Amino acid sequence: MNLPFAESYRIKMIEPLRKSTREERERWIKEAKYNLFNLKSDRIFIDLLTDSGTGAMSEKQWSELMLGDESYAGARSYYKMKEAIKNILGFEYFLPAHQGRAAENILYSTIIKEGDILPGNSHFDTTKGHIEFRKAVALDCTIDEAADTQLEIPFKGNIDANKLEEVLKKYPKEQIPAVVLTITNNTAGGQPVSMENIKEVYQLCQKFGVPLQFDAARLAENAYFIKIREKGYENKTIKEIVKEMFSYCDIMTMSAKKDAIVNMGGFVAFKDENLWKRCQMYCIINEGFLTYGGMSGRDMNALAQGLDEGTEFDHLETRINQVAYLGAKLDEYKVPYQRPAGGHAIFVDAKKMLPNVPKEEFVAQTLGIELYIEAGIRGVEIGALLADRDPITRENRFPSLELLRLAIPRRTYTNNHIDVVAAALKNVLDRNNTITRGYVIKSEFPIMRHFTIELEKAELGNQ
């Protein structure tokens, strides 16, 4: 008999979870103005809001915290982080930042001017926010196939090289400060980008004299998929694949809260010394001195250790198998999701789940609220609320996909929790004919509104 798969770790410390009743949850979500970000975490049983900063650190990472050097300048911890970035990713120059968006802020403050164009594969919302805030354009060149949730292809996160080339031909290189390749492609479903595509994009960038930036939050998961799915990589280690991936780019930003498995931290790294120097001022005024940026010494230590562990095969196999396990359960229950299962999350297809809710009433948000009421599970809307209004017309943007993302924190929940998530989704699916109305907006910010938005049930007549 083949032995079943089991996790590559055991549990040393636990955190109790609180269960609640449906009545309590109905009251709490109403109090939270139907915004899942407004819920107190004690009111959640299984929190799949994000895999960012929510993973469980290892015993080695906790030990590293004790070794942190908190010197204002020249800390040992900075050099430990520098060495990890050099050894694992191959970058000589970097600036620490408190998280991914802060790294974006440093870079984009330096390189973007009004009217610029930054093509890419489904820019993450903070990236898009930073670009649009500077009155530049985040142009999505993802392959069209990514929009078909039921299509099973191995590298659904890829850029369409033809679309990209059109853009590079159309605008002068002075107007394109960077092409942004997000690996894995979070917005399109945690879908990987192939090495072939990475290479092709890099060659195009070189041909047109435009730098290629990786948004590398989930670089290790991307490398895992390359190893498993792309010909020629099956016998390479994750670290070898990572090295090759990063040989095809000029700049990287990283939210280390994902694949470096820390609760807080990030950085921007450069191949070009000059650009590193040009960015330094924005690090100092926004984050802190060059050798700590926005981070404590202890956190830089944990990041260096986490980057090493995060790029090990056993860890990635455990992690991605857990996401695939949820996908397989959902298949069994006929719950539609973005296929194939992604690296960090399952993206449930809300339009297929709730076909009776009008798109103007925020279908994925409605599904998120129903799942919370069903079992105290928190996911996050990747749909019209997240898409914000068009910066020019101020009309709501309704993307073709309305997804509810269930992001799985690293090394945190067991497969029993995953079973509860799948069963709860099945229960919502079974009663979907009773869910015919969604929500309307009562108040919102002009940009990145989803974090603080306040909603009301549409059936109350507030159209």
Catalytic residues: 72, 124-125, 215, 217, 258, 450
Work out how close the CB of 209 gets to ligand F0G at its nearest, in angstroms, rounded to a whole number: 25
Q: Which stretch binds ligand F0G (CB under 6 A): 10-18, 93-101, 137-145, 197-205?
A: 93-101
Work out how close the CB of 450 gets to ligand F0G at its nearest, in angstroms, rounded to a whole number: 11
Angle (nearest 5°) at CA 119 between 134 and 163:
150
Q: Restricting to residues 158-217, name those near ligand F0G by CB under 6 A.
A: 182, 186, 215, 217
Select the residue interacting with ligand F0G from 55, 68, 100, 120 (CB under 6 A): 100
Please choose, from the candidates 274, 306, 291, 307, the residue with its C-alpha nearest in 3D space to the C-alpha of residue 97.
Answer: 291
Write out the H or E segment, with its range, that includes residue 212. Answer: strand 212-215
In angstroms, rounded to a whole number, what is the distance separating the alpha carbons of residues 29 and 377?
12
Residue 119: helix, strand or coil by DSSP?
strand
Select the residue interacting with ligand F0G from 61, 99, 110, 366 (CB under 6 A): 99
Phi and psi at residue 278, to the nearest 5°: -65, -30
Phi-psi category of residue 273: left, alpha or beta, with phi > 0 → left and psi -120 to 50 → alpha: alpha
Please choose, from the candidates 212, 219, 211, the residue with its C-alpha nearest in 3D space to the C-alpha of residue 241.
Answer: 219
Work out how close the CB of 214 gets to ligand F0G at its nearest, in angstroms, rounded to a whole number: 10
Helices (H) and strands (E) in the chain, counts: 15, 14
Phi and psi at residue 119, to the nearest 5°: -75, 155
Q: How many residues bind ligand F0G (CB under 6 A)?
A: 16
110 touches ligand F0G by CB under 6 A: no
User: Among residues 143 and 252, whose Cβ is nearest to ligand F0G?
Assistant: 252
User: Among residues 102 and 275, whose Cβ is nearest to ligand F0G?
Assistant: 102
Positive or negative, the Cα torsion across 334, 336, 339, 341? Answer: negative
Select the residue interacting with ligand F0G from 80, 82, 101, 298 (CB under 6 A): 101
Q: Restricting to residues 50-69, name those near ligand F0G by CB under 6 A.
A: 50, 52
Nearest residue to ligand F0G, scored by beta-carbon proximity: 100
Q: Restricting to residues 389-408, name those near ligand F0G by CB under 6 A.
A: 407
Select the residue interacting with ligand F0G from 157, 211, 266, 368 (CB under 6 A): 266
User: Among residues 25 and 344, whose Cβ is nearest to ligand F0G?
Assistant: 344
In angstroms, rounded to a whole number, what is the distance separating the alpha carbons of residues 50 and 365?
15
Phi and psi at residue 130, to the nearest 5°: -65, -35
Residue 253: CA count within 13 A, CB half-sphere: 26
230 touches ligand F0G by CB under 6 A: no
Work out how close the CB of 6 gets to ligand F0G at its nearest, in angstroms, rounded to a whole number: 27
In angstroms, rounded to a whole number, what is the distance separating the alpha carbons of residues 187 and 32?
25
User: Among residues 361 and 381, whose Cβ is nearest to ligand F0G?
Assistant: 381
Q: What is the DSSP string of 371-419?
A: HHHHHSEE-EEESTTTT-B-TTT-PBP--S--EEEEE--TTT--HHHHH
Work out how close the CB of 453 gets to ligand F0G at its nearest, in angstroms, rounded to a whole number: 16
Q: Which stretch binds ligand F0G (CB under 6 A): 121-129, 287-295, 302-310, 438-446?
A: 121-129
User: Among residues 55 and 100, whose Cβ is nearest to ligand F0G?
Assistant: 100
User: Among residues 286 and 436, whose Cβ is nearest to ligand F0G?
Assistant: 286
Q: Which stretch binds ligand F0G (CB under 6 A): 96-104, 113-121, 196-204, 353-361?
A: 96-104
How many other C-beta atoms lie within 10 A of the C-beta of residue 170? 10
124 touches ligand F0G by CB under 6 A: yes
Report DSSP state, residue 159: B
Work out how close the CB of 446 gets to ligand F0G at its nearest, in angstroms, rounded to a whole number: 20
Distance from the first to the final alpha carbon of the chain: 60
Q: Which stretch binds ligand F0G (CB under 6 A): 3-11, 123-131, 243-251, 288-296?
A: 123-131
* 247, two tokens: 């040989």
Dihedral in degrees, nearest 10, Cα atoms 104, 105, 110, 114: 100
User: Among residues 182 and 366, whose Cβ is nearest to ligand F0G?
Assistant: 182
Q: Which stretch binds ligand F0G (CB under 6 A): 122-130, 291-299, 305-313, 357-365?
A: 122-130
Angle (nearest 5°) at CA 406 between 269 and 354:
135
Rg over alpha carbons for the chain, rounded to the nearest Å, is 22
Work out how close the CB of 345 gets to ligand F0G at its nearest, in angstroms, rounded to a whole number: 8
Q: Restricting to residues 407-426, name those near ligand F0G by CB under 6 A.
A: 407
Work out how close the CB of 48 gets to ligand F0G at its nearest, in angstroms, rounded to a whole number: 10
In 221-311, the DSSP E strands lie at: 251-255, 266-270
* Cβ–Cβ under 8 Å, residues 354 and 448: no
Work out how close the CB of 53 gets to ligand F0G at its nearest, in angstroms, rounded to a whole number: 7
Which residues are at the interface with ligand F0G (CB under 6 A)?
Answer: 50, 52, 99-101, 124, 126-127, 182, 186, 215, 217, 255, 257, 266, 407
